[in-house]
Amino acid sequence: MSQFSASEQTLIDAWEAHTAAEFESKDADAALAVMTDDPALVHVAVGTGAAGRDALRAFYAEVFIPQLPPDMGLDLLSRCVSVEQGRLVDEFLVHLTHTVQMDWFVPGLAPTGRTVVLPHVAVIAFEGNRIKSEHIYWDQGSALRQLGVFGDDVPVLGPEIADRLLDPHAPADRIIRRLTN
């Protein structure tokens, strides 16, 4: 038995159809099929995305989907759904190897071949059962550290940023120890 009500599951199904279109079938039109007539996407860390159906379709088809690394995956950590507020919030880990240009994620950075594990939060707004907007958050400092842009002297975590999300007893205060020892 699902922990979600039927109306909550309707929102989840729309979001999961949307992400399957992006990451599995790599189909911009299918991604838009569950969205409103005036959708928006904001990758908050870098300001990429688009607003409006035509602009968002172009972004998905010409930038986002073609620039997904073949090994990119998402692991859901937690999910909250509010039908009354028309919101779904997912917390998840993204893991990938930076083998392709990813201007939607690290604009202008040539592929580094490095592996990234990075927590994300997606705040999805709905009108009825259709996606109105996506606000996707991640720590750009950690992304750049993992990609080799920042060194150990910059106070941001690398792939260990995910450790305490997966295990609250994993070592804390790693930056403090690294920079003060």
Q: What CATH number is attached to the domain comprising 70?
A: 3.10.450.50
* Cross-strand bridge partners of residue 43: 48, 136
Euclidean distance between CA atoms 60 and 85, whole angstroms: 27
The answer to whether position 1 is within a domain reads no
Find tokens 């999805």 and name the residue.
124
User: Quick one: tokens of 88?
Assistant: 């779904």
Which residues lie closer than 8 Å to 2 by C-beta, 6 or more apart? Answer: 9
Euclidean distance between CA atoms 95 and 74, whole angstroms: 6
Per-residue pLDDT of the chain (181 residues; tens, 9 = 90+): 568 999 999 999 999 999 999 999 999 999 999 999 999 999 999 999 999 999 999 999 999 999 999 999 999 999 999 999 999 999 999 999 999 999 999 999 999 999 999 999 999 999 999 999 999 999 999 999 999 998 878 888 888 888 888 998 888 887 888 778 7
pLDDT of residue 157: 84
Euclidean distance between CA atoms 125 and 11, whole angstroms: 10
The answer to whether position 64 is within a domain reads yes
pTM over 0.75: yes
Boundaries of domain holding 156: 6-180
- The answer to whether 157 and 176 are in contact (CB under 8 A) is no
pLDDT of residue 9: 97
- The answer to whether 90 and 76 are in contact (CB under 8 A) is yes
Which residues lie closer than 8 Å to 120 by C-beta, 6 or more apart? Answer: 74, 90, 91, 92, 93, 94, 136, 137, 138
pLDDT of residue 1: 53
- Tell me the residue type at 54: D
Determine the distance from the C-alpha atom of residue 101 to the mean position of all C-alpha atoms in its chain, rounded to a whole number.
Answer: 17
24: how many CB neighbours lie within 10 A of its CB? 9
**Number of domains composing the chain:** 1
Between strands 130-138 and 35-43, the pairing is parallel
* b/e code 45-72 from CB counts within 10 Å (16+ = b): bbebbbeeeeebbebbbebbbeebbeeb
